[in-house]
């Protein structure tokens, strides 16, 4: 046995022994002063990060007896590099089994990640498919499915209703089905995948395929690295069908009310034009991390004779050949839309109001994601789940420290590109602390562009650039604060989105939306992510301040990975297991 | 380095050296007297097994210079058991790269398998998906797909037409697309998957999921072990779409003529009711290993007042409650149909004309397939491709020797079941030489039932059993040779299928069908598989005696695995690579 393995096994042994003895002080003492324990459900019935010995102490005092953990063991040979020992572990609790990750510095834990993977007695199993025993009146799979589809939402109520049938709702729906939790996913579009099909035609995924897999059924080995929107649309449609996700398309959600006495929702929907009342116990908003569109209110919008719309309503470039288009905004949507318009010979001006962080897709893929989500990573044995777990093991508090060097490398690699961008007058940033794209995404969900070609058009002036806030519109122009007048036939407001709880305000009520508070963000005290420090994403994948109301979403990696933990929390409630939540999040911002 | 490894590396070194020196005698001397070399395309541009030193000599004399093999190497640590050393190898040829498997007894080769895996310069690559460079008039994926679908078969002819869009045609279509060979898959049904949807309602796959994966996109981890027909139908429909298999549904093939001067086919089809002429270079029949139904011609069929149909036309049991049904035949279709009818309260009699081999599905799965295609196998690191290669490495000539002990175990495990079956008067066999189901399948494609419950109904008399040939029908009964009279409202002829070249007779002409000869079978001189010994499946996945005419199919494992080798042979021709065929098969039977 190697020294490294000995050290880890010694730590695990002492940790388990302290836990068994209920000796919280001893257990906390095994952590470094500067340390983090991140728990996904297993210990906390929450998505939780505690810091330092005090944090560990508080978590264990609250949860140790109840969780009754045991069986901490290495699952493979640990590794050591730069004074840090990394180990993959498994463990069990009174009600479940989990896996985790440990980083030791010397003999003390620096980071610990524990995640619940299954509930005892409710493990996911591959179904047999058919009984190999004939009996009168035995129903076929097709008959059972048809009966289910007829009854669900009518004679039989789903335990969970998921509002939003994009990739997040679909992934959660698949997990819930596999866990045997009756659920129903609702979407306003006619077909799964339409959320992608109906977007502007040049849209593709900006994350590479290894990052994007859905649960259970990864993209095939010949799937393109960057999938075009229609191909993703087809995949989602197919996935929904073959994974038997219970799905109501063409369904608008009109309202939802929580019955606090019955601990149950009443959700009024229009399904294929018919009003239906659903009575689920739990309601999940999977409406997209982008909440309601921010449509700025500006003087002169009523006199402007041209077209105006928010980027989310942009139909694509086809109708605008030869037209003058002013796009307000300089982040992802703005670049995508400007680029497509340029390709179709529109006269395009981008109005930049604040700085944007840009990184080239190839550089992000290579340097930012390459060690975890790439052909290279796969060849190195990094499975999708392993990559997700490595990512999850990095505490948000210190994640920026890991990111900064990567973005320094990207700055060097693409120095020429950034120089040209700057020369064109584009205001570029690297995030408040140089930590780049992913931190910007985690902190504020905006303020960046993954460059897939449009930035060069700005750098060399083929897309014109103007600067400043919009002051007002005239009949045929956009006028900026400094008086710059931009004649326009079309104005596109690529002005972002509100917090997801905007949908709660619309569907439930303002009071509930405020009670739940702002969704997303870490409280890092950086631009558009005001403190105090939350420790985890606000409101995502965990209990909220509204009983039985949840949010699911994020990017494809998060939708995939966190769908497991959200599904397990719902399964536990469905089976009547006690789920005492450690430190239900506080609300510091309403939206 | 272990002794085992040394031995294998010594053998490989001498083999490569002999080949490099073009010393055929030395190379052949490295094989045991009793030995087999099976080559899938790499050396022979054929599906070939040669036997003994003479066989090796003949193959090398004909092909060595041209193939120019090199780089024989171990790809992992070899294993030794019971005096046999097993090794996985890789190698290359002038035009390609391959992998293979070697069994040594002592220092001599007992079995060698070489398979072509890719052609140099034409390797399969994951596409990028989208260019990260904007340009005027750039077309989206959707636009390119729509253009392709409009033009293929009209302005642009496919290089390959595949007749038959079930799982075999679809798998081949996916491989060809990935290799960049323009192809078109035709099927008469309205939707991919209908070949399954339209069968009788209780139909499920009898092979377990690990055996059934299609190329590139395996079934997800929660797919049932035995998939119901409608679920498979959905999968095939979605696979066809997301894998971008070029597919014409609702297409009947009326005729095909080969233009020997142009080396090209003219295929007349009706596509959505419109006549279209396709001009592919290659024509592949993937119409199903079951050829045209054998509909027996019997006196009195014209006077019988009830219903009669072949099992392939059986609509299912719903309309026959309380009716008297006579099912002629006692193999897979007969049992499936009898079982379903019994479940729907029909009065069922099975007429057994010859013995049937029955094995319980669970026993087959556990004992027959378990080491290769099972949860257990997956846990042991046996990937689907590895399992396919292990299977392929067993020479047909001696395969029965490996199978016989497995079926002895099954006989023991299910002794009680077989005793009850016999007591009921059922004529049961284990294949001519006790080698069981898979050999029966390979030799004659019939004569067995994978029991999924219906055999118990026969064993305990709930399905009645009669014996003998049918002599004639009366107005309301089936009369057997011994005079037994079976009153009937419905007669189902579960009387099997002809050889696949029956379709060639229909679509091309009788002369071509005879020139090509019987499809399937090994020439083992066992029941329904007359000699002489062919060495490989007649006409499957390899050049036939009709230029540019091919057959694809088999079970799901074969459709998956051999689609690769057939696609590579077609790709090589598409790219104009020379493909001199070693020992084009001779034809010994016409059908």
Q: Which residues 446-465 of B are in CB contact (within 8 Å) with A?
A: 451-454, 456-457
Q: Which residues of B touch A316 (CB under 8 A)?
A: none
Q: Which of B211, B222, B237 to mutate to test the interface with A (most CBs of A within 10 A)?
A: B222
Question: What is the pLDDT confidence band of residue B509, given thresholds at 50, 70 and 90?
Answer: very high
> Nearest CB to B222: which of A124, A204, A361?
A124
Separation between Cα atoms, residue A569 and residue A42, nearest integer Å: 10
Separation between Cα atoms, residue A495 and residue B233, nearest integer Å: 45
> Nearest CB to B141: which of A230, A345, A361?
A230
Q: Does B279 touch chain A (CB under 8 A)?
A: no
Q: Is the pLDDT of residue B130 over 90?
A: no
Q: Does A378 touch chain B (CB under 8 A)?
A: no
Smallest CA–CA distance, residue B206 to chain A, in Å, is 10
Q: Is the pLDDT of residue A207 over 90?
A: no
Residue B334 region by backbone torsions, left for phi larger than 0, else alpha for psi between -120 and 50, else beta: alpha
At A371-405, the pLDDT tens digits run 899 988 998 999 999 999 999 999 999 999 999 99
Question: What is the pLDDT confidence band of residue B205, given thresholds at 50, 70 and 90?
Answer: confident
Q: What is the mean pLDDT of residues B169-190?
A: 97
Residue pairs between chains A and B whose CB atoms are closer than 8 Å = 160
Q: Per the CB < 8 Å rule, is A140 touching B453?
A: no
Q: Which of A117, A123, A129 to mutate to test the interface with B (most CBs of B within 10 A)?
A: A129
Q: Per the CB < 8 Å rule, is A222 touching B124?
A: yes
Question: What is the pLDDT confidence band of residue A206, given thresholds at 50, 70 and 90?
Answer: confident
Neighbours of A472 (CB within 10 A): 15
Question: What is the pLDDT confidence band of residue A199, given thresholds at 50, 70 and 90?
Answer: confident
Q: Residue B257 in contact with residue A160, Cβ under 8 Å? A: no
Q: What's the CA angle centered on A424, arms A419 and A426, to 5 degrees?
A: 85
Q: Does B231 touch chain A (CB under 8 A)?
A: yes
> Quick one: which of B26, B8, B283 has its CA closest to B169?
B283
Q: What is the mean pLDDT of residues A138-150?
A: 89
- The torsion angle over the Cα atoms of residues B467, B473, B478 and B481, rounded to 10 degrees, is -20
Smallest CA–CA distance, residue B363 to chain A, in Å, is 12
> Nearest CB to B228: which of A142, A345, A361?
A142
Smallest CA–CA distance, residue A274 to chain B, in Å, is 28
Separation between Cα atoms, residue A577 and residue A581, nearest integer Å: 12
Q: Look up residue A236 and give its two tokens.
A: 């989602």
In this structure, chain B runs to a length of: 591
Q: Is the pLDDT of residue B131 over 90?
A: no
> Quick one: which of B516, B584, B518, B525 has its CA closest to B550?
B516
> Nearest CB to A126: which of B131, B225, B228?
B225
Separation between Cα atoms, residue B351 and residue B329, nearest integer Å: 6
At B544-579, the pLDDT tens digits run 999 999 999 999 999 999 999 999 999 999 999 999
CA-nearest residue to B233 within chain A is A242
Q: Residue A304 in contact with residue A473, Cβ under 8 Å? A: yes
Residue B128 confidence (pLDDT): 81
Three-state DSSP at A483 gives coil
At B455-470, the pLDDT tens digits run 999 999 999 999 999 9
Q: Is the pLDDT of residue A474 over 80?
A: yes
> Quick one: which of B328, B366, B371 has its CA closest to B348?
B328
Q: Per the CB < 8 Å rule, is A132 touching B361?
A: yes
Q: Which residues of A touch B145 (CB under 8 A)?
A: 230
Q: Per the CB < 8 Å rule, is A126 touching B375?
A: yes
Q: Which of B123, B139, B140 to mutate to test the interface with A (most CBs of A within 10 A)?
A: B140
Q: Look up residue A283 and give its two tokens.
A: 């309601």
Residue B380 region by backbone torsions, left for phi larger than 0, else alpha for psi between -120 and 50, else beta: alpha
Q: Does B567 touch chain A (CB under 8 A)?
A: no
Summary count for chain A: helices (H), strands (E):
19, 25
In this structure, chain A runs to a length of: 591
- The torsion angle over the Cα atoms of residues A309, A313, A316 and A320, rounded to 10 degrees, is -20
DSSP string, A52-104: HHHHHHHHHHHHHHHH--EEEEESS--EEETTEEEEEEEEE-SSEEEEEEEEE
| Mean pLDDT over each residue of chain B, to the nearest integer | 95
Q: Per the CB < 8 Å rule, is A453 touching B339?
A: no
Q: What's the CA angle centered on A394, arms A391 and A399, to 5 degrees?
A: 110
> Quick one: which of B286, B305, B304, B308 has its CA closest to B296?
B308
Name every residue whose Cβ is closer than 8 Å to that of residue B469 and which is 6 or more positions away in sequence.
B353, B480, B481
Residue A186 confidence (pLDDT): 98
Neighbours of B368 (CB within 10 A): 21
CA end-to-end distance (rounded Å), chain A: 54
> Nearest CB to B454: which of A129, A134, A225?
A134
3-state SS record for B452-470: CCHHHHHHCCCCEEEECCE
Burial of A559 per CB tally in 10 Å (0-12, 13-18, 19+): buried
At A30-83, the pLDDT tens digits run 999 999 999 999 999 999 999 999 999 999 999 999 999 999 999 999 999 999
Q: Is the pLDDT of residue A137 over 80?
A: no
Q: Residue B161 in contact with residue B282, Cβ under 8 Å? A: yes
> Nearest CB to A234: which of B138, B242, B342?
B242
Q: Look up residue A297 and give its two tokens.
A: 């209110």
Neighbours of B297 (CB within 10 A): 6
Q: Is the pLDDT of residue B38 over 80?
A: yes
Q: Look up residue A201 and give its two tokens.
A: 């035609």
Q: Residue B512 in contact with residue B549, Cβ under 8 Å? A: yes
Query: Per mean pLDDT, which range of A126-130, A190-194, A270-274, B316-320 is the poorest?
Result: A126-130
Separation between Cα atoms, residue B45 and residue B28, nearest integer Å: 20
Q: Which of A131, A134, A230 to mutate to test the interface with B (most CBs of B within 10 A)?
A: A134
At B370-393, the pLDDT tens digits run 889 998 999 899 999 999 999 999
Q: Residue B328 in contact with residue B353, Cβ under 8 Å? A: yes
Q: Residue A174 in contact with residue A242, Cβ under 8 Å? A: no
What is the CB-side half-sphere exposure of residue A532 using CA atoms within 13 A?
4
Residue B377 confidence (pLDDT): 92
> Nearest CB to A178: which of B217, B222, B227?
B222
Smallest CA–CA distance, residue A131 to chain B, in Å, is 8
Q: Is the pLDDT of residue B526 over 90?
A: yes
Q: Residue B486 in contact with residue B349, Cβ under 8 Å? A: yes
Q: What is the mean pLDDT of residues A302-320?
A: 95
Q: Is the pLDDT of residue A518 over 80?
A: yes
Residue B29 confidence (pLDDT): 98
Q: Does A135 touch chain B (CB under 8 A)?
A: yes
Question: What is the pLDDT confidence band of residue B140, given thresholds at 50, 70 and 90?
Answer: confident
Q: What is the mean pLDDT of residues B110-115?
A: 98
Residue B155 confidence (pLDDT): 94
**pTM of this structure:** 0.90
Query: Per mean pLDDT, which range of A135-139, A192-196, B80-84, B107-111 is the poorest?
Result: A135-139
At A405-454, the pLDDT tens digits run 999 999 999 999 999 999 999 999 999 999 999 999 999 999 999 998 99
Q: Per the CB < 8 Å rule, is A131 touching B453?
A: yes
Q: Residue A239 in contact with residue A174, Cβ under 8 Å? A: yes
Q: Bridge-partner residues for A467, per DSSP?
A: A352
Q: Which of B118, B134, B335, B344 to mutate to test the interface with A (most CBs of A within 10 A)?
A: B134
> Quick one: which of A340, A313, A312 has its CA closest to A325?
A340
Q: Per the CB < 8 Å rule, is A343 touching B140?
A: no
Three-state DSSP at B239 gives helix
Strands of the sheet containing B264-271, edge to edge, are B251-259, B264-271, B274-278
Q: What is the mean pLDDT of residues B472-501?
A: 96
Residue A10 confidence (pLDDT): 97
Question: What is the pLDDT confidence band of residue B203, given thresholds at 50, 70 and 90?
Answer: confident
CA-nearest residue to B126 within chain A is A222
Residue B120 confidence (pLDDT): 98
Q: Is the pLDDT of residue B125 over 90?
A: no
Q: Residue A576 in contact with residue A542, Cβ under 8 Å? A: no
Summary count for chain B: helices (H), strands (E):
19, 25
DSSP string, B33-68: EEEEEEEESTTTSSEEEEEHHHHHHHHHHHHHHHH-
Q: Residue B580 in contact with residue B547, Cβ under 8 Å? A: no
Question: Phi and psi for B85 in degrees, rounded to 5?
Answer: -100, 130
Q: Per the CB < 8 Å rule, is A241 touching B242?
A: no
Q: Is the pLDDT of residue B201 over 90?
A: no
Smallest CA–CA distance, residue A426 to chain B, in Å, is 19
Residue B137 confidence (pLDDT): 75
CA-nearest residue to B240 within chain A is A238
Q: Residue B147 in contact with residue B271, Cβ under 8 Å? A: no
Q: What's the CA angle centered on A313, arms A307 and A317, to 5 degrees?
A: 65
Residue A68 region by backbone torsions, left for phi larger than 0, else alpha for psi between -120 and 50, else beta: left
Q: Does B230 touch chain A (CB under 8 A)?
A: yes
Q: Which residues 299-358 of B are in CB contact (within 8 Å) with A?
A: 339, 342-345
CA-nearest residue to A177 within chain B is B222
Residue A202 confidence (pLDDT): 78
Neighbours of B198 (CB within 10 A): 15
Residue A561 confidence (pLDDT): 97
């Amino acid at each position: 046995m190697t020294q490294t393995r000995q050290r880890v096994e010694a730590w695990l042994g002492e940790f388990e022994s302290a836990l068994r003895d209920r000796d919280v002080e001893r257990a906390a003492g095994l952590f470094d002063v500067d340390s983090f324990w991140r728990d996904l459900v297993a210990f906390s019935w929450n998505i939780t990060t505690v810091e330092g010995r005090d944090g560990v102490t508080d978590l264990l005092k609250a949860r140790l007896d109840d969780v009754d953990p045991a069986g901490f063991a290495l699952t493979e040979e640990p590794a050591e590099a730069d004074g840090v020992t990394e180990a993959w572990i498994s463990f069990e609790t009174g009600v479940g089994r989990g896996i985790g990750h440990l980083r030791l510095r010397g003999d003390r834990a620096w980071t610990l990640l524990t995640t619940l993977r299954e509930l005892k007695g409710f493990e996911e199993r591959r179904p047999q498919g058919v009984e190999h025993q004939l009996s009168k009146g035995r129903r076929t799979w097709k008959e059972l499915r048809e009966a289910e589809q007829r009854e669900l939402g009518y004679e039989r109520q789903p335990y969970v209703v998921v509002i939003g049938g994009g990739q997040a709702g679909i992934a959660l729906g698949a997990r819930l089905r596999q866990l045997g939790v009756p659920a129903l996913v609702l979407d306003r579009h006619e077909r799964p995948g339409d959320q992608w099909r109906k977007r502007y035609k040049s849209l593709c995924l900006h994350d590479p395929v290894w990052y994007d897999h859905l649960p259970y059924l990864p993209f095939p080995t010949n799937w393109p690295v960057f999938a075009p929107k229609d191909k993703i649309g087809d995949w989602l449609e197919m996935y929904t069908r073959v994974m038997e996700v219970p799905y109501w398309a063409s369904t608008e959600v009109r309202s939802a009310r929580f019955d606090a006495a019955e601990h149950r929702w009443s959700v009024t929907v229009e399904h294929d034009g018919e009003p239906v009342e659903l009575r689920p116990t739990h309601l999940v908003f999977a409406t997209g991390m982008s909440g309601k569109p921010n449509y700025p209110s500006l003087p002169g919008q009523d006199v402007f004779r041209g077209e105006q719309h928010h980027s989310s309503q942009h139909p694509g470039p086809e109708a605008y050949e030869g037209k003058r288009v002013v796009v307000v905004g300089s982040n992802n949507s703005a670049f995508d839309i400007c680029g497509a318009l340029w390709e179709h010979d529109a006269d395009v001006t981008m109005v930049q109001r604040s700085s944007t962080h840009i990184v080239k897709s190839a550089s992000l893929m290579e340097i930012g994601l390459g060690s975890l989500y790439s052909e290279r990573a796969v060849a190195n044995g990094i499975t999708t789940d392993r990559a997700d777990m490595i990512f999850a093991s990095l505490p948000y508090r210190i994640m920026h420290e890991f990111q900064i060097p990567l973005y320094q490398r990207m700055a060097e690699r693409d120095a020429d590109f950034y120089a040209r961008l700057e020369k064109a007058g584009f205001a570029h940033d690297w995030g408040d602390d140089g930590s780049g794209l992913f931190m910007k995404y985690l902190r504020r969900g905006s303020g960046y562009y993954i460059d897939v070609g449009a930035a060069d058009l700005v750098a060399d002036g083929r897309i014109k650039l103007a600067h400043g806030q919009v002051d007002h519109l005239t009949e045929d122009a956009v006028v900026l604060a400094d008086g710059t007048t931009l004649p326009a036939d079309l104005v596109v407001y690529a002005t972002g989105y509100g917090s997801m709880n905007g949908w709660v305000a619309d569907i439930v009520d303002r009071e509930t939306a405020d009670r739940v508070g702002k969704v997303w963000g870490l409280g890092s005290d950086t631009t558009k992510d005001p403190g105090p420090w939350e420790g985890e994403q606000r409101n995502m994948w965990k209990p909220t301040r509204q009983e039985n109301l949840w949010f699911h979403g994020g990017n494809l990696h998060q939708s995939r990975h966190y769908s497991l933990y959200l599904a397990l929390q719902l399964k536990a409630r469905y089976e009547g297991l006690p789920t005492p939540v450690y430190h239900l999040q506080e609300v510091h911002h309403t939206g």
